Structure 1
Amino acid sequence: MIHIKFDRNKDGTIHMFTMSGHADAGPHGQDLVCAGASAVSFGTVNAIAAICNTELDVELLDDGGFLRCRVPEKLDDETYNNVQLLLEGMLVSMQTMEEQYRQFIHIESKL
């Protein structure tokens, strides 16, 4: 199962997300849940880099199955708000997948 955790600051903004595990919803290379979660997460990281000119602090295991991204500190307000908008969009996309594939993906979002 893929576990995704969004860690929030006291003001509700996202400061980090972690994805771990494997969906095992299909054979390796044909797992649509894994492919979808990977596409959404890496697409968000790449969008933040391209649109916000901001690199997240990324930890990634070579064999897959683990991704942790932290929002850098001391961003200007406009950049920070744009990063937050993209991360909230990622959360909504992941929640949509979770609704359909609850047995393969679990999301936690808390302060």
Structure 2
Amino acid sequence: MIKVDVRRNQEGRIHIVTIKGHADAGPHGYDLICAGVSAVSFGSLNAIQSLTGLELNVKQGDQGGFLRCDVPMDIQPEHQEKVQLLLEGMIVSLRTIEASYGEHIQIDDHGR
């Protein structure tokens, strides 16, 4: 199962997103749920970097199955709003996957 853990600060801003595990919904390389989660998460992080120029603290597992993004809280307000909007969009997309494939992905959104 893929587990998505969203941590928010006291203002409700996302400051850590951790995605770990495998959906095990198909053979390695052909698992559409894993592919969807990867596309949504990496696409969102790439959009943040491209649109804001910020380098987020991102850690990945060597064999896949692990992605963690720490959002610095000291970034400029105009960038912070873009980052938060893109991360919230990522969570909405992941929830869409969860709604259809809840047996393979679980999202815990703390502080919401």
Per the TM alignment, residue 55 of structure 1 is displaced from its structure 2 partner at its CA by 1.2
Q: Secondary structure at the match of 1:54?
A: coil
Tell me how far 1:18 sits from its aligned partner.
0.1
2:77 aligns with 77
**When the two structures are superposed, what TM-score results if normalisation uses the length of structure 2?**
0.97
Amino acid at match of 1:39: A
Q: Secondary structure at the match of 1:34?
A: helix
Which position in structure 2 is the counterpart of 1:19?
19
TM-score with structure 1 setting the length: 0.98
Amino acid corresponding to residue 52 of structure 1 in structure 2? T
- 1:74 Cα offset (Å): 1.4
After TM superposition, what 4+ stretches of structure 1 lie above 6 angstroms from structure 2? none
DSSP-derived class of the 1:51 partner? helix
What's the Cα RMSD here?
A: 0.6
Aligned to 1:28: 28
Structure 1 residue matching 2:82: 3-state secondary structure: helix
Task: Name the count of aligned residue pairs.
Answer: 111
Aligned sequence identity (%)? 53
Corresponding residue number in structure 2 for 1:100: 100
